[in-house]
Amino acid sequence: MSTREADDQLGLLQGTLDLLILRTVALGPLHGHAIAKSIEFRSQEALQIGHGSLYPALQRLIKQGLIAGEDGTSENNRKARFYRLTAKGRRKLFAETSKWQRLSEAVGRILMPLAEENK
């Protein structure tokens, strides 16, 4: 990620990218580029992921058996690799999402008053 844009955009917490990928491919098989675009679009461009860092994350998820990759053809007729969620991945996504929500609520509750005062 380039430093110029870093202030406006949010960096990713460790391990968050994996969760976002899982959530993204839960909708249906997608190739790498589409996953990146989808994350950016759905976060309203707030989350800019380094496209390069997507690939190690994908390999990691494959190794853990949370997603599976298969060859296919893209919308513009190019060969690409599509990733879909496995059953194990779906369970993991469910567990991690609820964990994440509890965490963000807790962190939000702590951070809220200070943010009000400073306004």
Partner 1 sequence: MTWWKNRGDRLNDEIQAHIDFEIQENIDAGVSPEQARHAAMRKFGNVLLAREESREVWGWLWAGRLWQDIRYALRSLSRNFGFSAVAILSLALGIGATTSMFSLIYAVLFHPVPYADWQRLTYPIYLNDDQPTSPERWFSLTWSQYQQLLKTKSVEDAVGDDDTTSEITGQDIPEDATLTYITENVGSFLQVPALLGRNIQPSDAEAAHQQAMVVLSYDFWMRHYNGDRNVLGRTLEVDHKPYSIVGVMPKDYTWEPDLYVPMSLLPTSDRNVLPIMKLEPGVSLASANAEIDALVHQFAKETPQYFPNRFRMHLEHITDRIVLAVGHTLILLFAAVVMLLIIGCANCSILLLARGMSRQSELAVRAALGASGYRILCQLIVEALVLAITGSLLGILLAYWMARLIFSLFPDVFMHESVVRINLPVLAFSIALALVSGLLFGLLPSLRMSRPDVSKVIQATGRKVAGRRGEARSLSTLIAAQIALTTIIMGAAGAAIGGFMQMTHRNFGYDPAHVISVPVPLHQHSYFTREKRAAYFKTLQEKIAAIPGVTGVALSANATPPHSGTNLTFEILGIPSAQRSYLRANFISPEYFSTLHIPLLQGRLWDETENTRGGAVAVINQTLARRYFPNGNAIGQQIRTPTLTLEIGDPGQLVGVPDTNGWLQVIGVVADSLNDGLDKPVQPALYMPYPRFMWMDTQFLVRTQGLPLASLHDVQRAILSVNPDQQTDLNVRDLNQWIEQQSEFKQQRLFSIIFGLFSGLALALALVGLYSVVSYSVAQRTNEFGIRMALGAQRTHVLLIVCRNIGITVSSGLLAGLLIFLALHRLLAHWTQNSYSSPLILALVAALFILCGALACTIPALRAVSIDPMQAVRYE
Binding site for partner 1 (CB under 8 A): 1-2, 31-34, 36, 50-56, 58-60, 63, 74, 76, 78-81
DSSP secondary structure code for residue 47 in this structure: B
Give the single-character DSSP code of 3.
S
Nearer CB in complex with partner 1: 22/36 = 36
Interatomic CA distance for residues 3 and 8, integer angstroms: 10
List the 67-73 sheet strands across, edge first: 30-31, 79-85, 67-73
1 vs 97, which CB is nearer to partner 1?
A: 1
CB of 116 vs partner 1, minimal distance in Å: 37
Cβ at position 55, least distance to partner 1 in Å? 5
CB of 80 to partner 1, least distance (A): 5
The sign of the dihedral angle between the CA atoms of 95, 97, 103, 105 is negative
